[in-house]
Structure 1
């Protein structure tokens, strides 16, 4: 057991090679000179099922919802501006 410590960025990049790019864990482990056991643990910790990933996807869903709401509200505001201008013109 070597006891090497790897930075978190290194671990996340290794996980991305497996998860996003579809490389085999054994190939990535050999290329990066880490054990497959370590890489499996990193995938479990930083992979798509991790709590961080779920929180990120929840935040992205909330952003999409808020963007839709903003678009709808902006359209309603523009419509009300046009209606106000129309009725102001009619009252003259």
Structure 2
């Protein structure tokens, strides 16, 4: 119905459900897509933060070696 643009009436008849039920499911599915976009954005933000924190960790791991090399 959403991908191939079939009329609601036709899809409801094929599935044997009421048009109201079909419309309700379509609205519910649309909201799920919006929350999926929010979830994807949050995942992207967390991946960037993880990359930054990993870089900071790697830099801090090199600090003792740097001071040990300069102490010689």
TM-score by length of 1: 0.55
Question: Greater share of helix residues, 1 or 2?
Answer: 2
TM-score by length of 2: 0.65
Instruction: Give the number of equivalent residue pairs.
Output: 70
Cα shift at 1:54: 3.6
Cα shift at 1:73: 0.9
Q: Which consecutive unaligned segments of at least 5 residues does structure 1 have?
A: 1-17
Q: Which consecutive unaligned segments of at least 5 residues does structure 2 have?
A: none
Tell me which residue corresponds to 1:38: 21
| Structure showing greater Rg | 2
Name the CA distance, whole Å, in 2 between partners of 1:54 and 1:37: 21
